[in-house]
């Protein structure tokens, strides 16, 4: 999905930086820093899809500084 920012930048919405602002999901313009809270995006499933795509894209771009792997926590059987 293409988007136009207030600064005039045109590009994929997933090129924006995903951030948490005031306890809410937001996308930030890489050129001007304009913050767009995602609560206004509808329908909700589209909002979730775009957020996930932006996060995944940001993680791929940080491949030079990979996130260290965390070993899985062993699950213990539930007491009955």
Number of H helices, E strands in the chain: 1, 5
**Domain positions in the chain:** 2-61
Give pLDDT tens digits for 1-54.
Answer: 778 888 888 988 888 888 888 888 888 888 898 888 888 777 887 888 888 888
pTM for the whole structure: 0.66
Give pLDDT tens digits for 41-68.
Answer: 778 878 888 888 888 888 877 666 555 5
Closest to 25 (Cα-Cα) out of 58, 51, 61, 59: 51
């Amino acid at each position: 999905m293409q988007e136009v920012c207030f600064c005039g930048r045109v590009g994929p919405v997933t090129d924006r930086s995903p951030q948490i602002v005031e306890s809410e999901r937001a996308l930030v313009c890489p050129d001007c820093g304009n913050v767009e809270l995602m609560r206004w995006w509808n329908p909700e499933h589209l909002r979730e899809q775009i957020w996930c795509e932006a996060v995944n894209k940001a993680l791929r771009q940080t491949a030079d500084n990979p996130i260290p792997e965390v070993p899985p926590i062993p699950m213990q059987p539930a007491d009955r």
